[in-house]
Structure 1
Amino acid sequence: MKLLRFGPKGQEKPAVLDSEGNIRDLSTVISDISGDQLLPENLQKLANVDVEQLAIVDKDVRLGSCVGSVGKFICIGLNYADHAAEANMAIPEEPIVFTKWSSAICGPNDDIVKPRSSIKMDWEVELGIVIGKPAKYVDETEAENHIAGYCLINDVSERHFQLEISGGQWDKGKGSDTFGPTGPWLATSDEIEDVHNLGMTLSVNGKCYQNGNTKTMIFKPAFLVSYLSQFVTLEPGDIISTGTPPGVGMGQSPEVFLNVGDKITLSIDGLGSQTQQVIADE
């Protein structure tokens, strides 16, 4: 299944994408795509719904984040060997973990707000893992059973905040409002044939900067779920953003950063695409 959320911000309704690409309203079946609705037994019930009997939603409707009421938004840094190389950083021996605040989450095509003091705003196309079953001290061989599915994320970053202010604080540079466009849909695990071989692209103003593949990921999804579960209980609806391939603005020569008016387009095989425009903060 490909699960979505549509409607005005804060009033999103659940939906599912049918085989012809139509958005079908799920609000008569469930209240939201969030929390316990992502448990395996509840996803199975959804899979048995006759989608053709659901109302079709206008294709031009606003899409919200594909997961609602996210409890934890955990991110992994330098998780692609080729990205670590462009950043002139050593391949980490274990995952680099940081977080985005939940207020960073927004719809896949919502505007990205440039903070007033931002001078080095950057982009990162990333694969997101959505937790479907509580995970605590989970073995890597069992970790996939705790994954509801996957989604597309733009891990928007402000490098000045992240690396330069006060000696560098990753959360500060990653968590600004709108810095986490998520969706358009949550593809359940059965929709993705090989999560370790997905093409990923990102363009700014029509120029392609990132053209990578999840096959160069250092720490794979199952390992990340197992690893994180040793430190914190992962709960249904939690999101793990798994790192980015090379081609970020900071890695260009000379460096390239986002400005007001810039248009970003990104996609991952099987997980759809996003388009955002950068706007100034009020």
Structure 2
Amino acid sequence: MAMEVSREECLAFFREHGGTPEVYFSDHFERFRKTFHEFDGDWKGGRRVLDIGAHWLHQALIWSRGGYAITAVEFPALFLEENVRRAASAANIRLLGCADLGSATDLSALPDDSADVVLFTEILEHITFNPIAFWKQIYRILAPGGRIIVTTPNYYSWRGRAWRPLRFLAGRGGGLPVEDVIGVGNYAHHWKEYSLGEVKRYFGLLSPDFVVAKAKRVPTYQRSRVGWKRAVQTVMDVMPLTRPNMHVEIALPQKRQGIVAVASY
């Protein structure tokens, strides 16, 4: 089991190397930490990690401190920022800019079978392009015996469908409120949120070589400090169907048939 890394230690590291968006890091730290331990506690395989959508290397740092060798993928412009480059150098994280995940041509720089673990956390819900070309690259890069880790919001979360019936009945729709679309920074809107069954189906359609190794709905990552909200979270998290988050691990035991999905558009 890897040594625990605290929020304060991580923030001190980023401050030492030029700073980072600390509010975002603090809001997501528990997700980063719990995702790592959910996987690392059972994993006996290789330590080469490809972190898709690495942003400011927040999650990458935790995995690096946990003994994994990280290649971080993000838009090239972000990796030109001095603080990101300094943090990457200090943590021995390789940076790979990818201008377009839809075509994923920049991922061609990575050799076949060069990753044991692919982190695809809080990305699935943002994809607006046909993903087949991207997954062909990931399939090529992922070594046999490797895994893809997917975290994504649960469509049936109590914070969504189950928690807003009055909004639904009032004809005010679903998904993000228009107030948030107009006025709240959220690092890209959720184009589609999935059920657990849909995530399994998604990878089954991509390739019969993909095998669901773990699939679970997980409780709230970080409890509210507001008493009544914390109480609601505690009660609703008891019911698996309406837990707000999902953790899915997709294994690739052997490479036989490849990505078989074909786009009709």
Tell whether the structures are fold-level matches, with TM greater than 0.5.
no
Q: Give the alignment's TM-score, normalised by structure 2.
A: 0.27
Q: Give the alignment's TM-score, normalised by structure 1.
A: 0.26
More helix by share: 2
More strand by share: 1
